[in-house]
Structure 1
Amino acid sequence: MNKIKSYIKTHKKTSIFILIIVIALSYWGYKKITSTSGDTRYVTAKVEKGTIISSVSGTGQVSAYNQIDIKSKTSGDVTYLAVKSGQEIRTGALIAQLDAKDAQKTIRDAEISLENAKLSLEKLKLQNSEENMNADLEKAYDDGFTTVSNAFLDLPLIMNGLEDLLAQSQLSENTARSSGETALDYREQAEVLYYKANDAFFENRINFRKLDRNSINSDIESNIDETYVTSKLINDAVKTTRNFVDYLAEDLDNTSAYSSFQDTLSGYTSTMNGHISSLLSIKTSIKNYKDAFPTTDLDIQSSELSVQQKINALQDAKEKLADYSVRAPFDGTIATIDVKKNDSVSSGTLVATLITQKQIAEISMNEVDVAKIKTGARATLTFDAIEELTITGEVVEIDSVGAVEQGVVTYNVKISFDTQDERVKPAMSVSASIITEMKQDVLTVPNSAIKSQNNKSYVEVLDYHIEPSNNGNGNIGLISKTPPKRIAVETGISNDFQTEIISGLEEGDEIITRTILPTTTKTTTAPSIFGSPATTNKNMNRPMNSK
């Protein structure tokens, strides 16, 4: 230890150099231990238009009995029976007709509502066409020039009149002084506001003289605003002068000597109030016409949505009307008729039993999924025993009452085959995917892009990004200089892969679908094959994906 101290004392420069190297190596080692490799990267996708299909799945068996219960889809009185037991019928044949007067009235009302909505839309488009709105705005500017011109017929007279009034001996500084400090204060205030108004007036008049009706709109609007401010200043000067006159008349107890001044000032006040009101009105009109351009677009969009709602309501009413006609879902033979003419039936009431040659699959569904299924829904069937076989079908019957077993409620759903295959045997296991909703030409994004907070959905987008260079490390994604920005969205239906976007995004927008965080490394010590410690680097954290 003493030798080391002695060496340091005799070799100071060398010792300092060695110390610097040790510090540098220590810092390098620390950075290696705590280093993070790479940057946060973002995988993105574009918002696309497409078809999104929502479905539910279930399993069951091929039925050995091809018998279907035909049930009413709505309530009403039976007005007509079109078949009898033992009769063979074709797909779509009428079995029973229910009283549909109310449904027909609903259709008529929906048609009238749709026509009214269309007329309102056309009227709005006509009233707010760009040509008409530009004409309205141009007229407002022309009216504004006229309003300013009318004001300048009176403003010079009033300013000269105020100057003359304040120069009258009855309103002189000596008269005010003889009346006391209060009168002097009134006169000083009137004089200050007069000069302030006079400065604004002269500047305003210079700018007005540069204008004519063919001047650009921005110059006309600027002069309208300037004249409005000038008029208010002149009105303030008139008011303070009137306060001064009224005080002298009362203080000197000589109302008759000041009555002519008071009448003159009352006339000025009335004139200025009229100009201020007209200028404010034209300012408001111009602002409203300018603001109407973007507002009109929103109004038209709202009206278009209203029309679409009326179209949907009419379509729903027509579909509801179809429910009043009980029809055969496929070819078959009527086994029994379970209602009579004039019977009152409700939704789910058994109307008839149909025996068919078509094969039927009975699928067990839970209470959550069965609520999404309607008769007539399309389905796809696959079979465990026949791997390559896929058959399409249609939901023809849904249990009205579920079966409860160990606290679990299930409902049987019957699906008829569109095509018959002799390889399919009764009791074979079958899996069904039933379409519950389908939307075409809608905006879609990957499910991984949708995030939520406080029950509100949002996506993330990059304001600015750098394309990663091809460094041979297999890195994917984009690097951003700024954090992602959140955009609130309204979502619609979804499936296992995609989600519908109702509002918040447009086709072609680029959104983040995956975030790849940088890898953290740490230096560790492991035994060497030679029995001494060896230093190795291990990835302590693998790349993490944040959704």
Structure 2
Amino acid sequence: MINIIKKIASVIKVFTLKHKIISLIIILCLLGGGFWIYKSLTNNDGQTSYVLGAVAKGTIISSISGTGQVSAFDKIDVKPKVSGKIVYINIQKDNEIKAGTFLAQIDARDAQSAVQSAENDLDSARLSLTDINGEAKDALDAAYDKGLDALTTTYKDLASMKANLDSMFLESSYNGNDSDINYYLDFVRFYDEKTNDLSFWITDAKQKYSDMQKNMDTVEEIGWTISKNSQASQIENIVAETYNSVKIFLDLIRQTSNLTQRYQKISETKNLTTPIKTAATTTQITQLSAALEALIKDTATLLTAKSDITAKKVALSKANIDIKSQNLSMQKYENALLDAKENLAKYYIYSSIDGIISAVDSTIKTGDIISSGIVLGSIVTKQQVIEISLNEVDAVKVKTGQKVTIAFDALPDITATGSVVDVDIVGVVSQGVVSYGVKIALDIIDSQIKPGMSGSVNIITETKQNVLTVPNGAVKSKNEAYYVLVPGSPAPIQKTVEVGVADDTNTEIISGLAEGDQIVIRTISNSKSATPTIPSTTRQATQGLFGPGGR
């Protein structure tokens, strides 16, 4: 084939050289014919033509763009909070460190002494508080124990004398119809002219004793259920009740003892013979004296216990008041210790972040006296951010966590990803325009990306998949409504649509069209005689209206 072409070209070349005029005429004819054919094909006689396309499903990514500079995510200056002599320093440029790394120390001997002094003061306050509370409570517990001991002794004494007293008050030693004590009472009333002092015996002696014994049995029954494990109020109440009952019972025994002795004296003085044997009366007087002695002692012991409990409760109450005062003092000492420890911590300098030491004051060394606030060095994080500024329309669409793509002017081969980490709450007004700062954290750590580099970012505000889309140029607006052109006769007709989000290329169609519908995506008009179209505005994905690809 190549050889044939070469032979044809050689023949044409020979013919052209021999017949120059004829060759020129042939070339002109070919050019003229070609031009005529072109004009015939492209001449539409002033008619407008339309390029059609189909509605299709696709993905729309709405985004907002901006530009800014790269900086470290965080930067801190290493500064002491106190003045003093440096006893240790380890801050070296370009060293990578972790949060909590020990960097420097100021001479802390005075601060350590202050902490020790504060701890001693607090320990003393705690010891005093323990002594006050412990002593008062121990004393009250001892008073309750004494009350229980007094109850035990009293109940035993009552039990030991009960048989003898029952015999006197409830039985008759002479086989009579009444008890011995009632016989003594009637005898004294008959033979003794001084009966006014017998007013105690208004009621029958037997009945009086029975009533008192019944009351004592009730109190004693409760008393035997009380122990050290009982509530303090129960111990206090039973001690008081037992004391009151025994005091009344003591008066009965005292009056009975006096009555019996008067009976004995009258019978002896008047040399009277009575049905009750003298020996029996003498025995009863002895038994009454013993009971009286025991009850006097028990009553005194119960009164002491009762009074001691009351006094110790008052002492504990006062101790509690003192404890409140001591607590206030202890709180003061605790605060002083906390302040001393916080002050001591200022003498030790640690890194508060992970990062790299970016700058160091090499003139400062161990042994130097430095002032608080002087910068010993700086630390920057390895993670970087890019900060941009957006107008108020775009800023409201940006939320923390949104994904971002970043391109760098100086690094055309690197495209980084990131996410929004902060959006200013308060905007900055400049020449009547409000702007809001947005901070974007880079997902990668790349040594080629330097602080201060310029970058262009696209914040993805919304992504919609599998939605109906049409080219942006196909959507037009009129009277605040959107429409597209669909094929019609003799010319395309307008069809109203509801639009959603848009990106740089396509617009979402929410309603008005179906997948596969044909629409006009471009209009070709002859400038000489084209018929004017209805005034309209083509929908554009501009930052002011929808953001770059966003609405």
Q: The TM-score by the shorter chain falls in which range?
A: 0.3 to 0.5
Rg larger for: 2
Q: Please give the TM-score of this superposition, normalised by the length of structure 2.
A: 0.33
Q: Please give the TM-score of this superposition, normalised by the length of structure 1.
A: 0.33
